[in-house]
Every structure is written in structure tokens, then in C-alpha cells.
Chains A and B, each alone.
Chain A
Amino acid sequence: MAEKPVTQKAVKKPMKVKEVGFLVFIALMALLPFVLNLITGTGLNEGVTKFWQGQLIAFFIMAVFAMSYDLLIGFGGILSFGHAASFGGGAYAFGLLMKHWAPNFVKENPIMLGNTDLTMLVVLLVVLLVVLLVSVAVGLLFAVTSMRLKGTYFAMITLALSTALFIIIKSTDLHEWTGADEGLHGISLPVWLNPTQNRLTVYFITLAFLCVSYLLLRRFVNSPTGRVIVANRENEDRMRMIGYNPVTYRTIAFVVASIFAGLAGMFFSIWNMSATPTMISAVTTVNALIMTIMGGMGTLIGPIFGAAISQIIQQFFYTWFGARWPLIFGVLFILIVMFLPYGIVGTWRLQKGNLREGWKRLLRLFTTKSEAEAPESGQKPPSM
């Protein structure tokens, strides 16, 4: 056979590299505010240190949103153009409750345990629960509506659904509640959760959110259920013939992705202290798509990379190129797609086997004894 088969190594080793990388990432991120603080000499909640915490908060949140999107398109092969509905759904669920329900409730129903006031904690837990329920509902809505559709029709219905929600949220009839076009502003947050007053707390909460989401999603995609979702991407007909119902697994993928997107939306509305229609619009979905493609579809680390790059680009390109920055970003994006067709992480995984082989060949030049040829390329597919 002309081609040497590409092999995928067992699950034995690669975990270690991942674990180390993950721990290094946590350590770096946890130390960063303090390092900046030392270097710049400004306080933790002011100046450059505060600014960079803000940038990273946005990155942490968008990374989770991008991972949740990749669960759909990269792992499940489910090309949804309405994923922003989950993100915005979580944001609005949080914003609406915190603005219109929580303040009065806190005033009228103080919940005390001895001398400690638990009211805010209870309120936040209730709101979190509602955000989760809304996310599940949005996921189910998409799964059920698109159940029998495929290809272009499927993509269209997901776009139509999220656009419908976008229009509803923007409608002037709801102005009193949602702020219509302008969005929902003035969400009241407890002081400790207020990103202006206590940015470091929000920083660590969102960092934890990213880490926990990554670990949970990694588990999920390697669980029996996750593996079947990947099989759904690969070959729906064959999946059916060995006894799996594709609709069931697509629904699970939709709901799980929606939960993480909804939570990301909630944190985004905490970070901005607002929820805006843009968060539900196709622009937001496309952002996640761009992050996923840049980083590497079908991987979890890829979207994290993608979110980081996107955040950096948004920041620096504006100062470098002014209002033209999206144009430059567009060109850069095209170049990335051309040169790294599987994204940064995907292409790395494909090529690192070749790199290793290259090093081996190089080393062989310097070793005298002729080793038995073991042409075993450790290449991996861009998936998983």
C-alpha cells in the first residue's frame, strides 16, 4: 500500500504533557496579577494590573464559550449557527433576575443564619439555577427544532432560531425589562462580585470557571457518551446500524454545550454588568467559530488558544491599526486557515510526530550503532 498508515498512539502517555501544561497554565494565571503588581508598582485594583485582569477575565469567559461551541461543531459535527442564543440566554436570564427580581427580594426577605446574612448567597444560587434551566431549555429548543434536518437546512434553522430570539430581545415592547436595543444595563451586583470594585475576585472566579469547565468537558468528551457524540460526527448511518439513536446524542451535545455557553454568558454579563442584544446575535457565534477554527476544531485546548489570540488581537490591533483592525484580522485569519488548516493545536498534533521523527533522524547521525528501523509515526488526527 503506497501510503504508510498514520497511527494514533494509545491513551498511555499524552495525558502527562497535558496535565503539566494545565498546571503550568493555572500557576501562571494565578500569579500574573501579583507579578504585574510587583513590576508596575500599582495596586492590584488599579492601573495596568487591573486592566490586564480585565483582558484575561474576558479571555477566560470566551474560552469556555469557544470550547462549548467546539463540543458542537468539532466533536459532534453539529454545525449550529445559533450557539449565541445559549450565551445570550444565560446573560439575560442572569441580568433580568439580578436587576428586576433580586433587589426587592433582598430588601424584603432577609435570610439570616445567626448573625450572618445569607440573603445574597441564596439569591445568587437561585439565579444560577435559573440560568442553568434556561440554558438547558435553549439547548433542548435547538435540538428538537433541528431534529430531522441536515446540512444547510440544519444550519439555517439554527440561525433562524437565534435570530428570532435576537429580535424578541430587541423588541421595544420589552424595553422596560430588557432595555431593547440598548441592552440591559445597571445590573446590581454585591460588592465582592463587582468587577469594578473587586476585580481580583472576579478574576479568580472566572479563572476557576475556565479550569473546571475544561476538566469537565475533557471528561465528557472522553466518556462513553462523548465518544458516541464523536461517532455521530464521523458516520451517522453506521452509528444507527450499531444501535445508537443519533437524535439522543445530538440532543445531549446540544444541552451540554448550551449549559457551558449559558454559564459563560452569565459570567460575561457579570463582567460587563450588562447584557446586550449583540450577545445573542450571529456575530457572537461567528466569534466563537473564528476562535475554534484558529485554535483547532475537535480539540478543547484549541478553542482556549483561539480565545487568547482573539483577545490579544482585539486589544493590540486596535492600537496598532486603528479602525482598520478587523480588515487586518481578516487577512490574518485567512492566512491561519491556509497555513494551519487544522488550527494551531490541530496542526501541532498532526505535525509533532514528524518533528519527533526529525529529531530521531538527527540523533541517529550522531550514534554509531545502526538501530533497527522503527518507522512508527506518532501522528494523531486533528480530532480529540
Chain B
Amino acid sequence: MANEVLIEAVNLSKAFGGLIAVDNVSLQVREHTIHAIIGPNGAGKTTLFNLLSGVMPPTSGRVIFKGNDITQVSPQRRAHLGIGRSFQITNIFPNLTVLENIRLAAQAMGKDNFKMLHLADNFRQYIDRAEEVIGVVGLEGREWVLARNLPHGEKRKLELGIMIACSPDLLLFDEPTAGMSSEQVPDLINIIKRVVEHRNRTAILVEHRMDMVMSISNVITVMNQGRVLAEGSPHEIANNPQVQTAYLGDLYGELA
């Protein structure tokens, strides 16, 4: 792993009252890798994503992205710096069409946001980009469906599409398969692989499905109760006795 560090958490902590959801976490994610974060529910994975994407400020610690301290930077600025995020709980624009959901994300990265007397539909580049992304996430033919009327599986694809359309350098996937049936998962794995590998991007993947994590990630960090329990290659993690007894043995016994 000689790649440069793209994003780094330095002694990051977040407390909600007395509950320490993220407890002194230090983490380095290198360029062009898929870095998985696993851990039981309540381990603090989503909260860590909230800190990395700027949704909430940390109680202490810093976030370094591309060598710059971005701890105080707003989420919208971080989006422009190249951090994209998808949500565990589907977070889309419900009364807009699939195309418009993704087109908005593409438009955000352009320079036409303040053209108030031009028609948005005349900016072909954003529609083209949106259609490209719709192809990537496999929502062809669904462009004119309202987001709220999509079945769950397609909502999850739209969730990813919105993030991808911003062309971020770093993609934060928060349980992309949440609520999906097992048959739908391989499809999603392919999308993630394609997006990350094809474009040489970097991803942090929070995921519960161990088969998926083992097959597509380069590095795995195990979290428990807000702390980092272990870190290593999939092979190392699978064979880590501490992880096995403390965590994998209980939760993913059938797979470990």
C-alpha cells in the first residue's frame, strides 16, 4: 500500500451527551482503495461518516483531506472538494423525477447554478451526465418516475446515483445494500466496483454483508463501541482471533 493517504481521521471523537459514539478514532484511507468499515449496530460507523462528510462537528480531533485540515469545513464545501456520500437511510428528493434527482447533483458541480433566466433543460451537459449515471446504476427507463414511487431496491440505486453524479474523488457508502434482498446485492456490488475501479476512485464502505466486504475491499477496519478494534487486509481480519471471538464469531458465524 504505497498509495498516498486521501483522507485521514486524527483522534476523532463524537459524544452525544454521555454517549461516546466515536471514541478517539484514527484512520487513514489511501487513494484507489476500497476501505471497508465493519462493526455491529451502534458501533459508530454512521457517526464517523457524519464527521467525515461534515454533517456534524466532532467533539475533538481532526479530519484531513488531500493534506488539508477540513474539520471546520461545511458539508457543501466538502462536496466541492471531492467528498461524496450516500446514506444508510435513503435520502433522496422524493417528489422529483429520477432524472432530476441526479441532474441536480450533476449541476451542483458546474458553474451555472446562478443563471436565473436560462432554462435548466437547455444545459445539456448536466442531463447527459445524469443519463450516463443512470446507465451506471442501472435505472434506465426509469428517468421520469418520481423518486418516491420507486421500489426500495431502485431507491438505493438512486441514492448511489446522486452521489456518483457529483464525480467525487472519495465515495462514502453507508450500507448501500440496507434493506435489500440477497438477490439484489450482486447487482449493487458490481455498481460499486465499476464506479470505484473504473474511475480510479477511493471508497469507504460501511457494510454488514461479510461476503461482499471480503470480496471487494482492500482494507478492513473493525469498529466496536466507537473504537477501532482491528485493521488489516480481508485475509488478516478473517483470521484475526480477537475479531473472531469478539465480533465475527457472533454476528457472522456462518461466514467467518
State A252–B162 Cα separation when bound (angstroms).
24
Q: Interface segment, B105-113, B129-137, B194-202, B218-226?
A: B105-113
Which residues of chain B come closer than 8 Å to A228, judged between CB atoms?
A: 104, 107-108, 113
Q: A241-B85, A243-B79 are in contact. Are A222 and B119 (CB under 8 A)?
A: yes
Question: How close is A113's CB to chain B, nearest CB, in angstroms?
Answer: 32
Query: Are B115 and A224 neighbours in the complex by a CB distance under 8 Å?
Result: yes
Report the separation of the CA atoms of residues A245 and B113 in the bound assembly, to the nearest whole angstrom: 11
Chain A, 214-253, CB within 8 A of any chain B CB: 216, 219-220, 222-228, 230-231, 234-235, 237-245, 252
A contact residues around B79 at 8 Å (CB): 240-243
- A7 at interface, CB cutoff 8 A: yes
Kindly identify which residue among A9, A237, A244 contacts B113, using a CB–CB cutoff of 8 Å.
A244
Identify the closest chain A residue to B83 (Cβ). A241
Contact partner, A234, options B87, B96, B108, Cβ 8 Å: B96
Residues of A within 8 A of B252 (CB): none
Least CB distance from B141 to A in Å reads: 10
Is the beta-carbon distance between B91 and A237 smaller than 8 angstroms?
A: yes
Q: Does A381 reach chain B (CB closer than 8 Å)? A: yes
Q: Is the CB of B93 within 8 A of A234?
A: yes
Given contacts A224-B118, A227-B100, A243-B166, is CB(A5)–CB(B145) below 8 Å? yes
Q: With an 8 A cutoff between CB atoms, is A3 at the interface?
A: yes
**A9–B93 alpha-carbon span in the complex (Å):** 17
How far does the alpha carbon of A61 sit from the alpha carbon of B162 in the complex, in Å? 40
Closest A residue to B149 using CB positions: A5
Q: Is A27 on the interface with B (CB-CB < 8 A)?
A: no
B60 within 8 A of A: no
Given A231-B104, A235-B93, check contact A224 B166 (CB 8 Å).
Answer: no
The answer on a CB contact under 8 Å between A240 and B75 is yes
Q: Is the CB of B166 within 8 A of A225?
A: no
Contact A242 B104 (CB under 8 A): yes
CB neighbours (8 Å) of A234 from chain B are 93-96
Which of A216, A224, A238, A381 sits near B162, CB closer than 8 Å?
A238
Pick the most buried of A234, A238, A241: most chain B CB atoms within 10 A of its CB.
Answer: A241
Tell me if B114 and A238 are in contact (CB < 8 A).
no
**Which listed residue, B75, B144, B162, B166, touches A8 by the CB 8 Å rule?**
B144
Instruction: Return chain B residues, CB-CB under 8 Å to A3.
Output: 149
**CB-defined contacts of B151 to chain A, threshold 8 Å:** 1
The tally of residues in A whose CB lies under 8 Å from a CB in B reads 37
Provide the residues of chain A in CB contact with B191, threshold 8 Å.
none
Please indicate the chain B residues that have their CB under 8 angstroms from the CB of A17 in the complex.
none
The A-B contact count (CB < 8 A) is 119
A32 to B112, CA, bound (A): 42
Residues from chain B with Cβ under 8 Å of A240 in the complex: 74-76, 79
In chain A between 365 and 383, which residues have their CB closer than 8 angstroms to a CB of chain B? Answer: 381-383
Flag whether A106 is at the interface (Cβ < 8 A).
Answer: no
Interface residues of A in 1-51 (CB under 8 A from B): 1, 3, 5-11
Query: CB < 8 Å: which of A6, A223, A243, A245 contacts B116?
Result: A223
Chain B nearest CB from A223 CB (Å) reads 5
What is the minimal beta-carbon distance from B200 to any residue of chain A, in angstroms? Answer: 21
Min CB–CB distance A299 → chain B (angstroms): 13
- Kindly state whether residue B193 has any CB partner on chain A within 8 Å: no
Contact assessment for A222 and B92 in the assembled complex, using a CB-CB cutoff below 8 Å:
no
Provided the pairs A222-B119, A242-B166, A243-B79 are in contact, do residues A5 and B146 lie with their beta carbons within 8 angstroms?
A: yes
* CB-nearest residue of chain A to B102: A242
- Is B80's beta carbon under 8 Å from chain A? yes
On chain A, the residues within 8 Å of B113 by CB distance are: 224-225, 228, 244
Whole-angstrom CA separation of A329 from B237 in the bound complex: 71
- Using Cβ atoms and an 8 Å threshold, which residues of chain A touch B116? 219-220, 223-226, 252, 256
Bound CA–CA A157/B66 (angstroms): 41
**A8 CB contacts on chain B under 8 angstroms:** 97, 144-146
CA of A227 to CA of B145, assembled, Å: 17
Q: Please indicate the chain A residues that have their CB under 8 angstroms from the CB of B103 in the complex.
A: 227
Distance in angstroms from A51 CB to nearest chain B CB is 38
> B96 contacts A230, CB within 8 Å?
yes
Q: How far is the CA of A139 from the CA of B74 in the complex (A)?
A: 25
Contact: A222 with B120, CB < 8 Å?
yes
Instruction: Name B67-88 residues within 8 Å CB distance of A.
Output: 74-76, 79-80, 84-85, 87
Q: Which among B53, B91, B103, B104 has the greatest number of chain A C-beta atoms within 10 A?
A: B104
- CB pair A231–B93 under 8 Å, yes or no, is yes
Q: What's the least CB distance linking B87 to chain A, in Å?
A: 8
Check if B117 sits within 8 Å of A219, measured CB to CB.
yes
Interface flags for A77-105 (1: CB within 8 Å of B; 0: not) read: 00000000000000000000000000000
Please state if A383 and B95 are interface contacts (CB–CB under 8 Å).
yes
**B121 lies within 8 A of chain A by Cβ:** yes
What's the nearest-Cβ distance from chain A to residue B99, in Å?
9
Indicate whether A243 sits within 8 Å of B76 (C-beta atoms), given known contacts A219-B117, A223-B116, A225-B114: yes
CB proximity of A236 to chain B, nearest CB, Å = 10
- Determine if B115 and A9 form an interchain contact, defined as CB atoms under 8 angstroms apart: no
Q: Which A residues are in CB contact (< 8 Å) with B149?
A: 3, 5-7
Report chain B residues within 8 Å CB of A231: 93, 96, 104
Interface centre among A228, A244, A252 (most CB of B within 10 A): A244
* Minimum Cβ distance to chain B for residue A375 (Å): 13
Is the CB of B251 closer than 8 A to any CB of chain A?
no
Known: A225-B116, A235-B91. 5 other contacts (CB 8 A): A222-B119, A223-B120, A227-B100, A238-B87, A381-B146
CB within 8 Å of A: which residues of B? 53, 55, 74-76, 79-80, 84-85, 87, 91-97, 100, 103-105, 107-109, 112-121, 123, 142, 144-146, 149-151, 162-163, 165-166
Of the A-B pairs whose beta carbons lie under 8 Å apart in the complex, a sample of 12, sorted by A's number, is A5-B149, A6-B145, A8-B97, A9-B144, A219-B117, A222-B119, A224-B114, A230-B96, A243-B79, A244-B108, A252-B116, A382-B95
